[in-house]
Every structure is written in C-alpha cells, then in structure tokens.
C-alpha cells in the first residue's frame, strides 16, 4: 500500500492506457507517481525436516499410523515453531521404504 505524501490518502492505481505507464494517483489532490520498479519475488528455500538418509539412522521411532500407507511405525522429530506458550509441533516420516510420507501433527 502506498499513501499520498501530501494529504495521506491511500493511492489508487491508474491502468496503463495508450503510451502511458501504470501509475499511482491520489483521488483527493493532484499527486501522481509513476510505477517504475518491478520486483520479482524469490521463493525462500525450505530445508526439509528430515534431511538425508543418514538422519533416519539415529531418528527416534514411535507407534503411529501413516495416513498414506497405514504403516504402524514412523520416525518423528519435535520442534517449537510457534510461541513458547504453544505446544511443540511433531513431524513424522513413515518408516516404510516404499512410502517415506511426511506429515505434521500439532
């Protein structure tokens, strides 16, 4: 959101017409500002919870049911991803080699 430096109103977008470019304008005063900068959003690289096959050798196991293959055992890891007064989140990965499904339980 952009605001007018003169009167503080929320600027509106005027579409590009003819040879004019896209620009912001103030509905209450004569302020006009061209839109010149286009920023590309870059997706943040997400690190997997269970990284690599070696991590599974030492990961603890628990008796739980995989939602995909209904196997009765899974690796798990607990992390505090929200504020301290919220419970920890538990991340699971199916132990079955053919499945390896990841899921989360709050």
99 labelled as ligand-binding? yes
* CA–CA distance, 3 with 88 (Å, rounded to integer): 40
29 is in an annotated binding site: yes
Q: What does each C-alpha distance from 104 to 10, 70, 77, 81, 82 come to in angstroms?
A: 41, 15, 10, 12, 14
Consult the annotation and say whether 4 binds a ligand.
yes
Q: Tell me whether residue 95 is annotated as binding.
A: no
33 is in an annotated binding site: no
Q: Could you tell me which residues are annotated as the binding site? A: 4, 7, 26, 29, 66, 69, 94, 99
Residues annotated in a binding site for Zn(2+) = 4, 7, 26, 29, 66, 69, 94, 99
């Amino acid at each position: 959101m952009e605001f007018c430096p003169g009167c503080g109103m929320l600027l509106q977008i005027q579409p590009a017409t003819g040879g004019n470019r896209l620009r912001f304008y103030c509905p209450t005063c004569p302020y006009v500002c061209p839109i010149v900068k286009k920023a590309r959003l870059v997706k943040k690289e997400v690190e997997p919870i269970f990284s690599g096959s070696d991590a599974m050798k030492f990961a603890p196991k628990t008796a739980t049911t995989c939602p995909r293959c209904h196997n009765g055992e899974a690796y798990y890891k607990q992390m505090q991803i929200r504020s301290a007064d919220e419970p920890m989140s538990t991340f699971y990965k199916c132990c079955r080699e053919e499945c390896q499904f990841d899921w989360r339980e709050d």
